[in-house]
Amino acid sequence: MELNSRKEGDAVVVSVKGRVDALTAPDFEKYLSEQADKSEKSLVVNMKELYYISSAGLRAVLGATKKLKEKRGDMMLAEVQETVREVFEIAGFNKFLKIFDTEKSALEQI
Amino acid sequence: MFSQITLPATLGNLRQFLDFITTCAEKQGFCPKRVSQIELAAEEVLVNIFSYAYSEPGGEVSVTCGSDSARLLIRFEDSGIPFDPLSKEPPDVTADVSERGIGGLGIFLAGKFMDEIHYRREKDRNILTLAAAPKAESEVSL
């Protein structure tokens, strides 16, 4: 798993590559939590090169989403691969986080 | 033909178990997407066993993988405390973020992606089996 981030106005854009499983999820969780703190408002997570996520990864996303809600910010996912997207949808996470086709369209919503 | 792997029930062995299972699914000709769903279901079951089966280190898990005609069958066996992960209340996947917990989500996902999931206690062992057809049932309903 590889993690990067950059500031984009009031938001922070995180990109996650590789796989988030029970082994890598603790690092992902810590990173997302730190970036949620750094962001003035919302977090955009680009998942273009994320090929696998399990419930351990969902826990990390849920934790950061709760944190962002406290400052009225949103968790936004962009460019999510089909298999990963399906995991979010079956878990019902699409109810409280927004999924965008492109990073650009996510940033335009902030 | 069925093959088997037995290793200590620790997170450090997760990748080795998953490599064994995905190789088995690929050999049966399952497509990459279905292999990924099988991998996820297997991870959720294994992590449950690693977390709850043994109170002391040293316990093992055996995974057997093979196929009966069209379906892939995976059996997980441990000699830990009796634990039926399917007896847990399923999570409310319609709840909003503030009421969301994460408990039970892993096994819920495994059940959604697999065609069958069963638990039984036999001769002081926990036996959990997964059955997967080449195409996920969930694809029909989504």
- CA atoms of A13 and A39, how far apart (whole Å): 9
Res A104 pLDDT > 90: yes
- Within 10 angstroms of residue B6's Cβ, the number of other Cβ atoms is 11
CATH of the domain at B47: 3.30.565.10
Number of domains in chain B: 1
User: Residue B125 is part of which domain span?
Assistant: 3-141
B120: Cβ–Cβ under 8 A, 6 or more apart, which residues? Answer: B127
Is residue B141's pLDDT more than 50? no
Between chains, do A22 and B95 touch, taking CB under 8 Å as contact? no
What range defines the domain where residue A56 resides? 2-108
Domain count, chain A: 1
CATH number at residue A14: 3.30.750.24
Within 13 Å and on the Cβ side, how many CA atoms surround B85?
Answer: 28
Which pLDDT band, with edges at 50, 70 and 90, does B1 fall under?
confident
Q: What is the pLDDT of residues B102-135, one digit of tens each?
A: 788 999 999 999 999 999 999 999 999 999 998 7
* DSSP-assigned letter for residue A47: -
- Would you say residue A49 has pLDDT above 50? yes
CB pairs under 8 A between A and B: 69
Partner residue facing A96 (CB), from B96, B105, B108: B96
A41, burial (CB in 10 Å: exposed 0-12, middle 13-18, buried 19+): middle
CB contact under 8 A, B14 and A96: no
Question: Mean pLDDT of all residues in chain B?
Answer: 92
pLDDT higher than 50, residue B28? yes
- Predicted confidence band at B140 (pLDDT cuts at 50, 70, 90)? very low
Cβ-nearest to B97 among A21, A83, A96? A96
Distance (Å, whole) CA B94 – CA B114: 21
